[in-house]
């Protein structure tokens, strides 16, 4: 893979994107009833651009572990190859898995599918009574030494 692919708005070639989608679909497959999408259907690239551009630079190295046939293999075969990859390259696999989960469980369709509301849990923030410091009572009464 060449570094200049990352500098564009469409950083991954169609073949690389197909492999990445198959990786993500293997990590988090769609539900049988179609309610929950697979992770490959979500926009991991936008998530990475917003949250971890450094890992975005690493994606070509991740995908390079898999050949073009990976996307055409059975789910069991892909799972076995991903397991091998996770054991051989945890420094690449672990952040990929983290970002796949993070992207997945922030998606509105997924949130609705698991019975939650779409969007952030506190869109207007947490309401606290002005001057109410009772939330600090357990800290002040404990044996903990905090900065004062």
Residue-by-residue DSSP string for 51-88: H-HHHHHHHHHHHTTS-GGGGGS-HHHHHHHHHHHHHH
In this prediction the pTM is 0.74
* Mean predicted lDDT score pLDDT of the chain: 84
Is the pLDDT at 10 greater than 60? The verdict is no
Helix axes 53-63, 44-51, angle to 10 degrees: 140
pLDDT at 8: 41
pLDDT at 89: 96
Q: How confident is the model at residue 146 (pLDDT cuts 50, 70, 90)?
A: low
Is the pLDDT at 145 greater than 70? The verdict is no
| Residue that wins the pLDDT comparison between 66 and 139 | 66
pLDDT at 12: 76
Is the pLDDT at 129 greater than 50? The verdict is yes
Is the pLDDT at 147 greater than 90? The verdict is no
The 8 Å CB, 24+ separation contacts for 1-7 are: 1/60, 1/61, 1/63, 1/64, 2/60, 3/57, 5/60, 6/56, 6/57, 6/59, 6/60
pLDDT at 29: 96
pLDDT at 69: 95
Place of tokens 């950083």: 11
> How do residues 19-67 score in pLDDT, each as one tens digit?
999 999 999 999 999 899 999 999 999 999 999 999 988 899 999 999 9
């Amino acid at each position: 893979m060449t570094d200049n692919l990352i500098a564009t708005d469409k950083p991954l070639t169609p073949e690389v994107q197909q492999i990445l989608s198959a990786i993500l679909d293997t990590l988090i497959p769609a539900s049988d009833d179609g309610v929950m999408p697979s992770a490959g259907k979500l926009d991991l690239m936008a998530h990475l651009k917003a949250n971890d551009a450094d890992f975005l630079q690493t994606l070509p190295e991740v995908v390079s572990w898999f050949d073009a046939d990976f996307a055409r293999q059975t789910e069991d075969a892909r799972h076995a190859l991903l397991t091998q990859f996770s054991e051989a390259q945890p420094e690449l696999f672990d952040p990929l898995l983290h970002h796949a989960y993070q992207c997945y469980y922030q998606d509105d369709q997924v949130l609705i599918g698991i019975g939650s509301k779409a969007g952030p849990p506190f869109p207007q923030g947490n309401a606290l009574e002005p001057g109410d410091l009772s939330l600090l009572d357990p800290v002040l009464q404990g044996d903990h030494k905090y900065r004062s």
